[in-house]
Amino acid sequence: MDDLLRLLKDGHARTIPMLAKELHTSTADVSRKIEYLVNMGLIRKVDFGPKKCGSCGGGCSSENGQKTCKSCMPEGGFQNMGQMWEVVG
């Protein structure tokens, strides 16, 4: 897992299959380690969701306490950006 974390810190973007190849392991192994690192608070998942809208000029509505921003982003936020994780600084 140290290898994985080291790769993450080098400033390059990689996909999970690429990481698996570089670390000579399977994608399932990389995925579970990413999940582990997230839970240990060492890396963080990037949230592209519609929450936390505080900045679009108008067009924002508060629905059941959660601010959504229909006009800045598609419904449910950008859902097709894949998943991204970053190292917690």
Partner 1 sequence: MSATIALLGQPNSGKSTVFNALTGLKQHVGNWPGKTVEKKEGSFVRDGKEYAVADLPGSYSLTANSDEEVITCEYIASGKADVVCILADSSQLERSLYMMADYAGIKVPSFLVLNMADVAADQGKKIDTKVLEEKLGIPVISLSATDNKKYDAFFEAMNRAISNKSMINIAGLEAELQKVDAYAKIRALLPEEGVKSYSPTWLGVKAIENDKLVMEQLKSVLSVAEEKQVEEIRCTSKGALDTGNSKFAWIDELLDGALSEQKEKIGVSKLDKIYLSPFWGKPAVVLTILLGLIGSFIPALPLMGVGSAIDMLKAPVGSALASAGVSDVLIALICNVVIQSFSYIFKMLGFVFGVLLVFGLLEEVGVMARISYVFDNTMAKLGLQGKSVMPFLISFGCTMGGAAGTRVIDNYGQKVLTIALAWAVPCGAAWAVIPMLSSLFFGPGAVAVVVAILLTMIVHMWITAKIFGRKLVKKEDRYGMIMELPPYHKPKWGALFRYVLGRTKDTFFRVSKVVLLVCVLFWALSYSFTPGVDPILCKIGKVIEPVTKIFGLNWQLFMAFVASSVGKEGALGVISALFTDGSVYGAFNDAMSGAATAENLNDILLANVSKPQALAFIFAITFNMPCVVALASTYQEIASAKWTAKIALYYTLGALVLAMIAYHIGLLIW
Give 47's DSSP letter.
Answer: -
Scan residues 46-85 and list those touching partner 1 (CB under 8 A). Answer: 46-48, 52-59, 69-76, 78, 80-85
- Is 22 among the residues that bind partner 1 (CB under 8 A)? no
Instruction: Report the first-to-last Cα separation within the chain, whole angstroms.
Output: 17
Binding mask 1-20 for partner 1 (x = CB under 8 A): xx--x-xxxxxxxxxxx-xx
Name the residue among 33, 57, 53 with its Cα closest to residue 43: 33
Nearer to partner 1, 63 or 75 (CB): 75
For residue 61, give the H/E element and its range.
strand 61-63
Binding mask 30-49 for partner 1 (x = CB under 8 A): -xxxxxx--xxxxx--xxx-
Cα 66 from chain centre: 20
d(CA 7, CA 41): 17
Which residues contribute to the site for partner 1 (CB under 8 A)? 1-2, 5, 7-17, 19-21, 26-29, 31-36, 39-43, 46-48, 52-59, 69-76, 78, 80-87, 89
